[in-house]
Amino acid sequence: MTPTAPLSLADLPGATATANHLSMSTPRVSLADLPNGAHATVIGLRACTPEADAALLRRLAEIGFLAGEPVHLLRRGPGGREPLAVQVGDTLFALRALEARCIEVEPAHV
């Protein structure tokens, strides 16, 4: 897998495409690029670096980072760094920056 190849939902067991309604003209950014307090919708997962293998992307999908899911970046750790506190549904996760960079999102319009 190349570092910039997006992971198709078909590559993940049990995943279904749920984000067909999302606009292709809206800029996609990684979850790590959002400011604290931002809301967004997951577009997909991608291997952002060679360290981000298929197992990492599968784990992110299994814990709920699927296309169409709303996410809320609550805050970052000390000094604005790791971990990132992220809410998906009713569940709060602490993500490493590497993991957050692998999650493509569409920022919510305010």
Show me where the domains of the chain are located: 27-107
In whole angstroms, give the CA distance from residue 45 to residue 66. 8
> Looking at beta carbons, which pairs linking 86-92 to residues 24 or more positions away fall under 8 Å?
86/31, 88/42, 88/63, 88/64, 89/64, 91/63, 91/64
Distance CA 15, CA 29 (A): 22
Angstrom distance (rounded) from CA 26 to CA 32: 17
What pLDDT, on the 0 to 100 scale, is given for residue 91?
94
Regarding the domain with residue range 27-107, which homologous superfamily does it belong to in the CATH classification? Ferrous iron transport protein A (FeoA) (2.30.30.90)
pLDDT of residue 21: 42
pLDDT of residue 109: 81
Per-residue pLDDT in tens (0 to 9) along the chain, 110 residues: 444 444 444 555 434 333 444 445 567 899 999 999 999 999 999 999 999 999 999 999 999 999 999 999 999 999 989 999 999 988 999 999 999 999 999 999 86
